[in-house]
Amino acid sequence: MASREYEIVLFGATGYTGKYTAEHITTNLPTDLKWAVAGRSHQKLQSLVEELKPLNPDRLQPGIEVAQLETAELYALARKTQLLISTVGPYYKYGTAVVDACANCGTHYLDVTGESPWVKEIIEKYHDVAKKNHAILIPQTGIESAPADLLTWALVSHIRQTLDRPTRRVTLTVHDMKAAPSGGTLATVLGLFDRYSAKEVADSMKPHAMDAVMNGVGKGQQRGLGARRRKGWVERVFGVRTVPGLGTLTTSLQVSTAEFRLHDFCNPSLKSPIDRLSTREKRRKEEKEGEKGTHTPIHPPYHYSPSPSPSPYNAATNKPPTPRAAQTRQ
């Protein structure tokens, strides 16, 4: 791969999203990056390169690659680069041939689709071949997925680093969004429901529908992080478990330790297991109401911060209790 002509090829560089991506590469990525803009019109690509030049005249200027949406041309394009970014959409119409080329030529691939049924389709079709050819395919790096993915990654990393535990589930909600769809996005949304049935769309949005590992798309896969942790008999019978960084924790037989949540532990206002249990029940009620669309928060969000007194936080340093002290609150 290192011997390929380009490090990045941006396919669809002449479109709305493509131009933004090209500007980002021009102004932010290393100036010696070997890259090219690609599309179906040489003339349009040439004028794009002229537009980009003043943004960063001292950098290595991009090559120009013309390719039609046709297998031989796409394979030739994919073989020239280590990473191909595609902003040619709608993806359910134009994307599969590009993914096919990348998966078969061992070229890494990124796109900004939000077309979940199409993503599910290409994972099922290309996961194994991409893996065999060492190609990393990452669809959906746009607004529908990137903020949630990055936030989840940050949260899971934090829990792993500070508590050395995996995370079973992260729930994110969006309360406000200031964004307007581009022309290509509108065309995509309108066309998507002509191509896929309502069931296919719904199926692609189920939890883990696009998780190639948990769905066993590839053979002999390990189950992913979301898989249930195997409990030893001591934990199953007595609820005793050891969490690095927190020490030995116990819960009563009635309360499953698997349901014990980090913020229960960190919320100093919950002093006894009974408090925690009732909070858990409140939360279940909230979740049920949320599913019915009648959600009204019963309590404010928990914070990893001191609560008003009485608090087990150290009054002088304003720091949370040490793991050992916290453990006694179990």
Ligand X SMILES: NC(=O)c1ccc[n+]([C@@H]2O[C@H](COP(=O)([O-])OP(=O)(O)OC[C@H]3O[C@@H](n4cnc5c(N)ncnc54)[C@H](OP(=O)(O)O)[C@@H]3O)[C@@H](O)[C@H]2O)c1
Chain center to CA of 82: 22
Q: Is 62 one of the binding residues for ligand X (CB under 6 A)?
A: no
Among 40, 125, 280, 329, contact with ligand X (rule: CB under 6 A):
40
Which among 40-48, 130-138, 151-159, 252-260 is the span making contact with ligand X, rule CB under 6 A?
40-48
Q: Which is nearer to ligand X, 184 or 239 (CB)?
A: 184
What is the per-residue burial (b if ≥16 Cβ within 10 Å, else e) of 308-324?
eeeebbeeeeeebbebe
Q: Is 9 one of the binding residues for ligand X (CB under 6 A)?
A: no
Among 96, 152, 182, 269, contact with ligand X (rule: CB under 6 A):
182
Q: Is 188 one of the binding residues for ligand X (CB under 6 A)?
A: yes
Among 91, 109, 196, 265, contact with ligand X (rule: CB under 6 A):
91
Among 88, 110, 130, 270, contact with ligand X (rule: CB under 6 A):
88
Radius of gyration of the chain (CA): 25
- For residue 261 the two structure tokens come to 């949540």
Which among 15-23, 26-34, 150-158, 161-169 is the span making contact with ligand X, rule CB under 6 A?
15-23
The DSSP letter of residue 223 is P
Q: What are phi and psi of 170, to 5 degrees?
A: -120, 130
Q: How far apart are CA 201 and CA 114, in angstroms?
A: 11
Distances (CA, A) of 150 to 145, 153, 154, 157, 212: 8, 5, 6, 10, 19
Residue given tokens 């992913």 in the structure block: 224
Among 107, 185, 267, 330, contact with ligand X (rule: CB under 6 A):
185
Q: Is 77 one of the binding residues for ligand X (CB under 6 A)?
A: no
Q: Is 87 one of the binding residues for ligand X (CB under 6 A)?
A: yes
CB atoms within 10 A of CB 90: 19
According to DSSP H, which parts of 164-218 are helical?
Answer: 183-195, 198-204
Among 39, 62, 239, 268, contact with ligand X (rule: CB under 6 A):
39
Q: Is 15 one of the binding residues for ligand X (CB under 6 A)?
A: yes
Q: How far apart are CA 95 and CA 12, in angstroms?
A: 11
Which among 137-145, 164-172, 233-241, 315-323 is the span making contact with ligand X, rule CB under 6 A?
137-145
- For residue 104 the two structure tokens come to 């078969």
Q: Is 249 one of the binding residues for ligand X (CB under 6 A)?
A: no
Q: Is 297 one of the binding residues for ligand X (CB under 6 A)?
A: no
Q: Is 116 one of the binding residues for ligand X (CB under 6 A)?
A: no
Q: How far apart are CA 89 and CA 54, in angstroms?
A: 28
Q: Is 330 one of the binding residues for ligand X (CB under 6 A)?
A: no
Residue ranges with strand state E in 6-62: 6-11, 35-39
What does the binding site for ligand X look like in residue numbers (CB under 6 A)? 12, 14-18, 39-41, 44, 69, 87-91, 94, 112-114, 142-144, 182-185, 188
